[in-house]
A and B are shown apart, each in its own frame.
Chain A
Amino acid sequence: MRFPSRKVFMKDWMVTSLFLLLSLVLVGYFVYVCIGWNVIVSLSDWKGLTPSYNIAGFDQYLSLFHDQVFLTSLKNNLILILLFVPGSLFLGLFLAILLDLKVRGEGAFRSIYLLPFALSFVITATLWAWMYNLDVGVINTLLEKIGLGFLRPMWVADPNIAMYCVVLALIWQFSGYTMLIFLGGIRSIPESQIRAAEVDGASGFDLYRYVVIPQLKAPALSAFIVLMVFALKAFDFIYILTGGGPGWSTYVLALMMFKETFRKNQFAYGGAIATILFLLALVIVVPYLYLSFRREKE
């Protein structure tokens, strides 16, 4: 056996740890230091283009809760959580079950359903602006063709339904993703279990209801977390499709933060919204990470 010289060994260890150190510094600075810095901004009185770090305490946070726009944004994030999250989960599960029924050309169907998820929000938002356009847009033109032209809904131009139009388009974009996760979950159930259930007389709907779906808790949870975090931080899609309008009807927290900070230069105010957004994300993610780390240890 040839023993390594101590010098070579040390040099090797140094190179490796230098790379780890570089990653730690980058993530440490750009994630943790920046979040901390943003919290400090949120506690200041910084307005306008020159930074100001005079402590104003929780003033920004307090005024947020009297701000109608903030409350509307909060409500719209809640709509995303209550409609977009379950909508994507159910449609994804439905598609996964359909594709599990020994479909010919399953790969092609799967690829097409997942395609919107691979595209940029800038693309999907532009596409849906075209879908929802009032005069020459896709949906209204098609409605006219089938004789329902009198309906001519205003879609994203109608403040009463604009947010639901956003939800519909987002479900379109995300359900391919949930389908993929569920399909992976279904495929990892041992064939023998399915056989055993079939021998016991379970078939069709019952087989899914009592045997397959109960075993999809883990994929359902991970998809749920991804969707929840998205429901909180959704920005690009809405910003480009509606810009938050008409009025404030499609404002969400991330969009309000962006406009307050980068359009109105209300840095402290925007910082407070960002901090709230971060804390809400932690509430969702930390228990989940705790659970999955504990499971990994076992």
Chain B
Amino acid sequence: MRFPKLGRVTLYILLIFFIFAFLLPLWTCITTSFKTLKGVIDTTPVEPPLGPLFRLPYPTMEPLITAFNIMKRSLLNSFTFTVAAMILSCLLGSINGYILTKITFKGSNTVFLFFTIGIFIPYQAVLVPLVLTMSKLGLYNHLGGLILTHTAYGIPITTLLFRNFYGLIPNSLIMAAKTDGAGTWTIYRRIVLPLSLPPFVVAAVFQFTSIWNDFLFGVVLTRGQNQPASVVLANLKGTTTVMWNLLMGGTLWYALPVLVIYLVLGKYLMRGYMAGAVKG
């Protein structure tokens, strides 16, 4: 009872009010993606299409099916480069984190600073050189280009996440292995890596959601068939101004993987947000 003066009832009314405020856009997205165009006009957005029993129109799968057909290729694109870049950036981040905490060398702080600045830069400052580089490499409008881009710009944050975690592994463990004759790579493979499941989950969900959510790199590095789902959805919004049910259906498809991750592994995502915010 830390706050005796504020009634418990008022507290819960406030909390529930904020639930409505935070969920209203998502809720109306779901209801609308099950409505016909006529249903969108005839009902208020908050009403789900439950059928005539509730004096409401019947639900329809039409918008979701049409939206899926428009977006399926791009969803597959997004999935491909997101998973690849997630794995690569996590592996590199893990090795960096290990080196920066367990093999302290002259200038290791400088190396860490070198990486950390990469977390904060506005990507606008690299866009033009990035596009030129990718065209030179033959990776413009190629999923490989997005994998390389997201891996490179993912390294700073994954390095930070792993460094935070590896700081907690006792140095005596490393020293013991060293005296047993293990070299740096062997120590990483045999001792550090097997302890790394928690940071790998944190870094992986963090990287999956941020790469999946990206729009900027996708829009400047790809066109047509190779566009990620974010860009295709944004284009859909730009071209259809009245088909709100279709647009909300597309939004739902694009949001789905992140929603599933959030439901299942939200705890780890929160840890990522908190660790990332300690310094960046």
Known: A34-B133, A226-B277. A142 touches B44 (CB 8 A): yes
Interface size class of A (residues with CB under 8 A): 35 or more
- List residues of chain B with CB within 8 A of the CB of A285: 117, 120
Known: A13-B183, A24-B114, A226-B277. A34 touches B6 (CB 8 A): no
Cα distance A281–B32 in the bound complex, in angstroms? 39
Is A203 an interface residue when CB atoms closer than 8 A count as contact? yes
A-B contact pairs, 27 of them (CB 8 A): A4-B181, A8-B181, A16-B103, A16-B188, A19-B92, A23-B92, A26-B155, A27-B114, A31-B156, A37-B132, A98-B14, A114-B273, A115-B262, A122-B233, A127-B26, A131-B25, A136-B244, A138-B45, A142-B46, A172-B22, A204-B2, A204-B5, A236-B216, A257-B124, A277-B122, A285-B117, A289-B279
Q: Of A16, A229, A261, which one neighbours B120 at CB under 8 angstroms?
A: A229
Q: Mark B82-101, 1 if CB is under 8 A from A, else 0.
A: 00000000001101100100
Task: Say whether B22 contacts A113, CB under 8 Å.
Answer: yes
Is A66 an interface residue when CB atoms closer than 8 A count as contact? no
- B212 → chain A closest CB, angstroms: 7
Q: Of A34, A109, A262, which one neighbours B19 at CB under 8 angstroms?
A: A109
Known: A133-B244, A181-B277, A292-B279. A204 touches B95 (CB 8 A): no
Dominant SS at the B interface?
Answer: helix
Cα distance A148–B133 in the bound complex, in angstroms? 55
Task: Say whether B22 contacts A126, CB under 8 Å.
Answer: no
Number of interface residues of B (CB under 8 A): 97
Cα distance A40–B22 in the bound complex, in angstroms? 44
Is A95 an interface residue when CB atoms closer than 8 A count as contact? yes
Residues of B at under 8 Å CB distance from A?
A: 1-6, 11-12, 14-15, 18-19, 21-26, 28-29, 32, 40-41, 44-46, 92-93, 95-96, 99, 103, 109, 111, 113-118, 120-130, 132-133, 149, 151-153, 155-156, 159, 179-186, 188, 209, 212-216, 220, 230, 233-234, 237, 244, 247-248, 251, 254-255, 258, 262, 266, 269-270, 273-274, 277-280
Chain A CB within 10 Å, residue with most, of B32, B120, B280: B120
Q: Which residue of B lies closest to A111 (CB)?
A: B266
- List residues of chain B with CB within 8 A of the CB of A181: 273-274, 277
Cα distance A24–B280 in the bound complex, in angstroms? 19
Task: Say whether A35 contacts B99, CB under 8 Å.
Answer: no
Q: How many A-B residue pairs have CB under 8 A?
A: 292
Task: Say whether A136 contacts B40, CB under 8 Å.
Answer: yes
- List residues of chain B with CB within 8 A of the CB of A160: none
Task: Say whether A274 contacts B15, CB under 8 Å.
Answer: no
Task: Say whether A35 contacts B126, CB under 8 Å.
Answer: yes
Task: Say whether B270 contacts A114, CB under 8 Å.
Answer: yes
Known: A15-B185, A133-B244, A285-B120. A95 touches B18 (CB 8 A): yes
Task: Say whether B117 contacts A122, CB under 8 Å.
Answer: no
Chain B CB within 10 Å, residue with most, of A17, A23, A207: A23
Q: Which residue of A lies closest to B184 (CB)?
A: A16
Is A9 an interface residue when CB atoms closer than 8 A count as contact? yes
Is A100 an interface residue when CB atoms closer than 8 A count as contact? yes
Is A118 an interface residue when CB atoms closer than 8 A count as contact? yes
Task: Say whether B109 contacts A293, CB under 8 Å.
Answer: yes
Is A137 an interface residue when CB atoms closer than 8 A count as contact? yes
Known: A181-B274, A235-B124. A1 touches B179 (CB 8 A): yes
Cα distance A194–B188 in the bound complex, in angstroms? 42
Task: Say whether A177 contacts B273, CB under 8 Å.
Answer: yes
Cα distance A205–B3 in the bound complex, in angstroms? 7
Is A267 an interface residue when CB atoms closer than 8 A count as contact? yes
Q: Which residue of A lies closest to B263 (CB)?
A: A111
Is A67 an interface residue when CB atoms closer than 8 A count as contact? no
- List residues of chain A with CB within 8 A of the CB of B279: 222, 289, 292
Task: Say whether A120 contacts B183, CB under 8 Å.
Answer: no
Q: Which residue of B lies closest to A9 (CB)?
A: B183
- List residues of chain A with CB within 8 A of the CB of B19: 109, 112
Task: Say whether A27 contacts B156, CB under 8 Å.
Answer: yes
Q: Of B32, B111, B126, B270, which one neighbours A30 at CB under 8 angstroms?
A: B126
The 10 A-B pairs with the shortest beta carbon distances in the complex, nearest first, are A12-B183, A120-B213, A233-B122, A34-B126, A4-B181, A278-B125, A127-B25, A37-B129, A34-B129, A30-B152
Task: Say whether B2 contacts A100, CB under 8 Å.
Answer: yes
